[in-house]
A and B are shown apart, each in its own frame.
Chain A
Amino acid sequence: MFEDLNDLYQQVILDHCKKPRNFREMTPCSCSAQGRNPLCGDQLQLFLDMDGDTVRDASFVGSGCCISKASASLLTDFAKGKTRADIETMFASVHEMIKTGKVIGDVGKLAVFAGIYKYPARVKCAILSWHALMSALKGGDQEVTTESEQN
């Protein structure tokens, strides 16, 4: 019945939403940030353990839909071992891909989100954890929301 949704709910996404990786609190951590989607009430907290400019470990807790959980799971997997600059570059690529479907450069496993742009109501779900990650990297304890995203 839902064959047309295969580009939204890809197997990798379903797998990460059912068995989210790095789904735990991190205490102590170098920095953390709250992300919230006021549209649906979803929220998550993202934790980073930094070694200078490099992410040693990343994890998250919270509640959300399949897309937002899978996004946070894949993102925390990706972030480990990456530098701040690596993450900023990837954020630009992923942000563009999620909103327009255009894939610039090698986004690895995160390519599973390339179909989201066809579902405008779900773009914010995929982008929430990225905003939390960028906020954590800035060291801000400030909560971020998806409100700045254009629908």
Chain B
Amino acid sequence: MSTPHHPDWSTLREDFPILHQQVHGKPLVYFDNAATSQKPRSVIRSLVHYYEHDNSNVHRGIHELSNRATAGFEAARVRTAKFINAASADEIIFTRGTTESINLVANTWGTKHLKTGDVILLTELEHHSNLVPWQMLAKRTGARLVYVPVNGDEGLLDLSQLDALLTPQVKLFAMVHISNSMGTVNPVAEMCAQARQRGITTLVDGAQSAGHLPVDVQAIGCDFFAFSGHKICGPTGIGVLWGRTAVLEAMPPWQGGGEMILSVGYHKTEYKHAPHRFEAGTPDISGPIGLHAAMDYLDAIGRENIWRHDQDLATYAYEQLAALDGIRLFGPQTGRAGLVSFLLNDVHAHDVVTLADQAGVALRGGHHCTQPLMHKLGVESTARASFYFYNTRAEVDRLVAVVKEIQKFFRG
């Protein structure tokens, strides 16, 4: 697919009906994209079209509508494989989201391969979704969790320690691609390469990366890659787990039911191959169809263009905010992803978010599902502005003006 070198960003904004509204009497500035992105008209229409014309169950009907639904569902799998450069569409498992993708790996691969004394290596940047499933697995199997440390407010991993941390006990190394609370971009290809040399299985949490930069799972060299549809302009409720064929084929099923079986007797069942073995029951069908439309939409813009736009806004916002007094900024000073996390002196993040909301600016305040990281940095929460391609520098200017007003409000 050819991509334009200079997308017309203001025209793209027109594709998002939700952005054109007033909140508390002010034009909406939507800066909570790391939580969920907005949906373009083409995605919304794909869902409406599916329910108005093709709705049926998949993989089991012989009638026309079932054929259409099945074709749409499986076409989305092929499209997803292309989106992340998977070797085969059979490596794409549809889930409810990143969290379910990781839980699937923990419950199937993890239960089969981990035992007492083994180590699961994580990083201190992880979202709860790439942390709690491993804690639960560790408890079940007697494995231990070990973490690659983070260097402080900059949110950079101390990768000089990685070599020493990749001990023979490590069976799995699970890492976040882009930190949702710091904006750190981890060099996942290098991290996976080091693990792979030692025969360690790797999982990359791509929730914040898949829709923001070009992703090539074969180039990254991981064994599993997980992401969510709703953060990349798709609907909520649909996510993806990619796994290498050889790894998936050796994994036992997770949930049992229809769809995942070859034959069932009262006492014995034969399971299908991947990916169907991991998709028990009637799946979310409109979800993959909407996701397909979202991937088409993003790749028509070009994810390398989106990444440049993200970084431009993040750098601009970081510089403007860093020029203020009484502000503490988190995340790397250069090379950050499209978000900025900050704290104002003597003003709690929730108060910042409530006041910004009154000015029409939607931010996120809290621990961002990274509580252990927040504790390590000695804070309970931060305020976060996270961007996408439909955001503008003028919106960042509004954020900065609002932050100044908030400081005045609490000083006065």
Contact = CB atoms under 8 A, between A and B. Distances in A.
Given A40-B367, A40-B381, A41-B381, A1 B402 contact: yes
A41 B374 contact: yes
B365 A4 contact: no
Interface size class of B (residues with CB under 8 A): 20 to 34
B351 interface: yes
A64 B371 CA distance: 15
Contacts of B351: 9, 65-67
Interface string A68-89: 0000000000000000000000
A18 B346 CA distance: 8
Nearest to A42: B380
B394 to A, nearest CB: 17
A1 B405 contact: yes
Contact of B380 (A2, A63, A125): A63
Contacts of B24: 4
Contacts of B410: 14, 18, 66
Interface in A120-151: 121-122, 125
Interface string A20-57: 00000000000000000001111100000000000000
Interface in B335-381: 346-351, 354-355, 358-359, 365-367, 371, 374, 380-381
Given A1-B405, A2-B409, A66-B348, A41 B354 contact: no
A103 B320 CA distance: 44
A74 B374 CA distance: 28
A8 interface: yes
A5 B355 CA distance: 8
A4 B23 CA distance: 13
B366 A40 contact: yes
Contact of B355 (A2, A18, A39, A43): A2
A122 B350 contact: yes
Contacts, number: 57
B405 A41 contact: no
Interface core residue of B348, B367, B409 (most chain A CB under 10 Å): B348
A1 B25 CA distance: 11
Given A40-B381, A63-B380, A65-B348, A4 B366 contact: no
Given A65-B350, A66-B351, A40 B365 contact: yes
B359 A40 contact: no
Contacts of A9: 351, 409
Nearest to B406: A2
Contact of A40 (B358, B380, B409): B380
Nearest to B352: A65
Nearest to B375: A41
A8 B348 contact: no
Contacts of A39: 366
Nearest to A62: B380
Contacts of B350: 40, 65, 67, 121-122, 125
B381 A4 contact: no
User: Which one of A14, A65, A119 has the highest number of Cβ atoms from chain B below 10 Å of its Cβ?
Assistant: A65
Contacts of B371: 41
A2 B358 contact: yes
Contacts of B409: 1-2, 9
Interface in B381-412: 381, 402, 405, 409-410
A69 to B, nearest CB: 8
A103 B349 CA distance: 29
Given A2-B405, A64-B348, A119 B366 contact: no
A4 B348 contact: no
A5 B358 contact: yes
Contacts of B366: 39-41
B405 A5 contact: no
Interface of B: 24, 346-351, 354-355, 358-359, 365-367, 371, 374, 380-381, 402, 405, 409-410
5 contacts: A9-B351, A40-B365, A42-B381, A64-B348, A122-B354
Interface of A: 1-2, 4-5, 8-9, 14, 18, 39-43, 63-67, 119, 121-122, 125
